[in-house]
């Protein structure tokens, strides 16, 4: 990622282009070598970058320890935006490798799969509960995870090209 001031400069120069680029990077986390594992506590995830950094993403409070998230760019960082895709792709990959990969590593991969899957399911459960509470009170929960899910469900249903 660019340095902090570069990010802010690029954002101010062309907010829409910056937003699109950030969204694309968020979608490409897994294929560009990022990994995710459960963090310590509900909604917490450890995102490891291809260069060996690890950032702690709090999916429920929508914070991340990366430098971008500390910048003044008023957008969630790619780790927050891309967390769900990264988790889903990581789970698919672990499952495929456990089934088709080197048998000696299968047990460890399934263990990693189940740990991540359970942690993710519990996080989504909490997101849905918060959403339901917000709905009951007639306010917008403004949860990144939930809106991502809606967007994807709509795309998969074929309503959006
Ligand atoms: Zn981040």
Tell me how far the alpha carbon of residue 138 lies from the centroid of ligand 1, in angstroms: 30
- Nearest-CA neighbor of 134 among 148, 146, 123? 146
Which has more confidence, 155 or 49? 49
Task: Name every residue whose Cβ is closer than 8 Å to that of residue 112 and which is 6 or more positions away in sequence.
Answer: 37, 94
Residue 153 reports pLDDT greater than 90: no
Virtual torsion, Cα 149, 150, 156, 161, nearest 10 deg: -120
Tell me how far the alpha carbon of residue 39 lies from the centroid of ligand 1, in angstroms: 14
pLDDT digits (tens, 9 = 90+) for 107-131: 999 999 999 999 999 999 999 999 8
Tell me how far the alpha carbon of residue 6 lies from the centroid of ligand 1, in angstroms: 16
Tell me how far the alpha carbon of residue 69 lies from the centroid of ligand 1, in angstroms: 6
Tell me how far the alpha carbon of residue 152 lies from the centroid of ligand 1, in angstroms: 21
User: Which of 1-5, 34-38, 49-53, 93-97 has the weakest average pLDDT?
Assistant: 1-5
Phi, psi of 136 (to 5 degrees): -65, -30
Element (H, E) at 84: helix 83-100
Chain centre to alpha carbon of residue 119: 13
3-state secondary structure of 75: coil
Which residues, in sequence order, are bridge partners of residue 82? Answer: none
End-to-end CA distance of the chain: 30
> Where are the domains positioned within the chain?
4-157
Tell me how far the alpha carbon of residue 103 lies from the centroid of ligand 1, in angstroms: 34
CA angle (43 as vertex; 151, 93 as ends), nearest 5: 65
User: Would you say 44 and 63 are in contact if contact means Cβ atoms under 8 Å apart?
Assistant: no
> pLDDT value at position 156?
53
């Amino acid at each position: 990622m660019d340095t902090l001031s570069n990010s802010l400069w690029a954002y101010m120069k062309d907010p829409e282009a910056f937003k699109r680029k950030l969204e694309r990077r968020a979608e490409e986390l897994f294929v560009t070598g990022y990994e995710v594992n459960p963090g310590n506590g509900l909604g917490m995830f450890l995102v490891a970058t291809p260069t060996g950094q690890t950032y702690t993403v709090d999916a429920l409070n929508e914070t991340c320890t990366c430098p971008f998230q500390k910048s003044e760019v008023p957008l969630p960082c790619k780790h927050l935006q891309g967390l769900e895709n990264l988790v889903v792709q990581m789970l698919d990959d672990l499952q495929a490798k456990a089934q088709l990969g080197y048998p000696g590593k299968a047990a460890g991969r399934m263990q990693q799969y189940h740990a991540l899957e359970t942690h993710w399911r519990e996080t989504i459960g909490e997101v849905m509960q918060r959403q339901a509470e917000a709905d009951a009170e007639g306010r917008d929960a403004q949860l990144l995870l939930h809106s991502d899910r809606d967007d994807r469900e709509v795309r998969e249903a074929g309503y959006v090209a």
